[in-house]
Amino acid sequence: MNIIKIKKELEEKREEIISFLKPSVEVERADLDDYELAHHYQVSEQQNSLNSFNQNILLQIENALEKIEKGTYGICDQCHMPIDPERLKVIPYANFCIDCLNRFPSKLISSSDQQEK
């Protein structure tokens, strides 16, 4: 596992996500008819959802970069065993091994909602 390459990929992904994070646009409601207002709210909600998802991934990336610095990258947060390198190739910011995800899916999903989806 080439940690330098992984770190570079994570840093590039972090910058990409930061560039996508956008504040929601405020619109003067008095200027909009009902259809335009409804459309604005729909777009705003979609943007908020996307920003939330991207912020979640960003937190996971930051966590992975911190683990690289500490020398603990690639270790499962639950069982503390190595995460399969093939899994890390697909999800380089993965916090859990497949075995823990399969054994404790509800526990890990609810407790890691801010870390890994």
Name the β-bridge partners of 82: 75
Question: What confidence tens digit (pLDDT) does each residue in 57-96 have?
Answer: 999 999 999 999 999 999 999 999 999 999 999 999 999 9
The alpha carbon dihedral of 108, 85, 20, 63 has a sign of positive
Higher pLDDT, 44 or 112: 44
Instruction: Output the pTM of the full model.
Output: 0.68
Contact predicate 61/14, CB 8 Å: yes
Q: How many CB atoms lie within 10 A of CB 65?
A: 17
Architecture of domain 3-111: Up-down Bundle (1.20)
- Name which of 18-27, 31-40, 92-101 the model is least confident about: 18-27
Question: CA-CA distance, 63 to 82, in Å (whole number)?
Answer: 16
Distance (Å, rounded) from C-alpha 6 to C-alpha 48?
29
Q: How many CB atoms lie within 10 A of CB 54?
A: 17
Whether the CB-CB separation of 54 and 67 falls below 8 Å is answered with: no
